[in-house]
Amino acid sequence: MTQACFACKKFIAAAHALHCIHVSKHIFHEDCVRSGSSRGDVAPLICPVCGDGPLSRVPRMGRAAVSLADEASASSPVPDSLRDAFTLLLEKISNIESRLDDLAAVKTQITALEGSHNRLKARVVALEAHSASERQLNVRKMLGVLEGSEVSPSLAGSRINVNERLTASAREIYGVARRAVGEGRLRRAWVRNGIVHVRRSQTTPPTMVRHFAHLSDILTGAPLRPVLSGRESSSALLRFPDGVAPPCISINGGPISSIPPSPLPSTSSSILPDQPMTGGANFPSDAPFRLYRVNCQSLLPHFSEFIEYFYSNQYDIIAMSETWLKPRVLDSLVSLRGYYLVRSDREGRGGGEVGFYVRDGIHTERMASSPSMYCAQPFFNM
């Protein structure tokens, strides 16, 4: 479509015409407008007739043209592919936003987990220290070795008190000895097999403390008595008047009887299997041995108290009932100095079983025993 320039009245192509935005008939050549304008090249061009601008290269649409354009745009549908692509784009944007929120939540959870890990690590260390302490203490209890007030395991910060199995008197003696070590009056104090031992100086021999009077003599400078062994201790530790047998005690507090020493020259004695070990004296009256009978009520837990009493080696044979010893308990765990152990072990929960501590040099022989699990009744000849 060709139109005429409103200024020079010459025809002009629509593509090269400048249109007034107010009046559609005001069409100009660009050269005609610039030649009549006093503004610079960069200034917007205005209509020479209306005096308003700026001029546009797009022709002004009338009201009818505008309405037709709107109807055409409304009647032309959006392609399905474009709509699907737009929907997919919106879904991806929504997923990205939700993932960003999830990342923030995950970061918060990681921070909380790091704190929980540190707390859990501290608890695990505490549990490991407790388990190590329990293992150390159980081993000390099983072996009956109480060598000092505390034992430090491999884990730092865990200390074990291993003196809980001491008798009341031994614990009190050991407390006084420890205080004396702190005051400098003793070099060292320790416990072995339930008995307190002290050393006054680096050059003096270790001394076994049996009662408070002995400890008082040591602290005041009285002559020290070294630790004796074997038959030396049997004559030095416990002394009884002539003709008086040593008293019999029971670890569990039950009644116990003993056989006084006999000067008869008989050389053998049998402990009869058909006579129980829980009543009165049931050994032959002419037995040549110094015999002692005790109901242990489980020997291993009471062994420190047991060895403390029989440390003096005053008896030739110590007969025990209710030992509750099982095959997995080694003889070394319940060894008594100067004696060897003859035992009939407990199988499962059948019977408490018996055992004998026999002085070194006395021969024993197991003759027979019942096949019953609950009453083995071994027969020993000594």
**Which are the contacts of 305, defined by CB distance < 8 A and separation ≥ 6?**
167, 194, 251
Task: List the one residue out of 319, 379, 324 whose CA is nearest residue 347.
Answer: 324
Quick one: how far is CA 169 from the chain centroid?
A: 35
Separation in Å, CA 301 to CA 5, 14, 136, 334, 335: 126, 119, 16, 10, 14
- Which among 36, 48, 60 has a CA at the least distance from the CA of 6? 48
DSSP 9-21: --EEEGGG-EE-S
Measured CA to CA, the distance from residue 45 to residue 47 in angstroms comes to 7
Structure tokens given for 116: 């929980």
pLDDT of residue 79: 65
Is residue 317 within 8 A of residue 292, CB to CB? The reply is yes
Starting at the earlier edge strand, list the strands of the sheet with 291-295. Answer: 258-259, 291-295, 317-321, 354-359, 339-344
φ, ψ of residue 160 in degrees (nearest 5): -115, 130
Q: Are strands 317-321 and 291-295 parallel, antiparallel or unpaired?
A: parallel
Per residue in 63-99, pLDDT (tens digit) is: 555 455 555 555 555 567 787 787 888 888 877 877 7
Q: What is the distance between the alpha carbons of residues 62 and 47, in angstroms, rounded to a whole number?
A: 18
pLDDT the model gives residue 124: 58
* Residue keyed to tokens 């629509």: 14
Q: Which residues of the chain have pLDDT under 70?
A: 1-2, 14-16, 36-44, 52-54, 56-79, 114-166, 193-194, 222-289, 312-313, 348-351, 366-382
- Cβ atoms 202, 227 nearer than 8 A: no
Residue 137, helix vs strand vs coil? helix
* Helices and strands: H and E segment counts in the chain: 7, 17
Helices in the chain by DSSP H: which ranges?
30-36, 63-75, 80-143, 168-183, 212-220, 231-236, 303-309
The reported pLDDT for the residue numbered 374 is: 53
Whether this model's pTM surpasses 0.85: no
Residues in the chain: 382
Q: Are 183 and 195 in contact (CB under 8 A)?
A: no
Beta carbons within 8 Å of 130's beta carbon, 6+ residues apart: 158
pLDDT in the model for residue 175: 86
When the pLDDT of each residue in the chain is averaged and rounded to a whole number, the result is 65
Q: Residue 304, Cβ neighbours under 10 Å: how many?
A: 21
